[in-house]
Amino acid sequence: MVVPAPVLIEATGGAPFRMEAATRIEGEPDAVSTLATLIEARTGVTTRSVSPSVRGATEEAGHIALRTDSALDHPESYQLAVDHTDVTLTGGDAA
């Protein structure tokens, strides 16, 4: 379940993203910690955080990026993009 519910979903097909221990989470430290805790509690998978400067060295592992973009229409709006290697969640603010 995604809250708030998406206004638009575009399915492109392709392979699913697979969560595993090598999956890296990048973003603001508190957000990364919160997401890692939730993932571990719900799946048992312990992920790792990574700074953006190390990203190129971890291309073979799955990657989750948490970003903010004040240019989004509303502070509570978000964009979620997923492919087989990456998940990018961009929010209008840090909330």
Contact by Cβ (8 Å): 54, 61: no
β-pairing verdict for 78-82 and 63-68: unpaired
**Of the candidates 16, 53, 47, 18, the residue with the CA atom closest to the CA atom of residue 34:** 47
In the chain, pLDDT over 70 holds for what percent of residues?
A: 84
Q: Which residues pair with 82 in a beta bridge?
A: 87
Residue 62's SS3 state is: coil
pLDDT value at position 89? 93
Q: Looking at per-residue confidence, does 55 or 10 come out higher?
A: 10
Q: How confident is the model at residue 2 (pLDDT cuts 50, 70, 90)?
A: low
Contacts of 13 (CB under 8 A, 6+ apart): none
Report field, pTM of the whole predicted structure over 0.75: yes
The SS3 call for residue 33 is helix
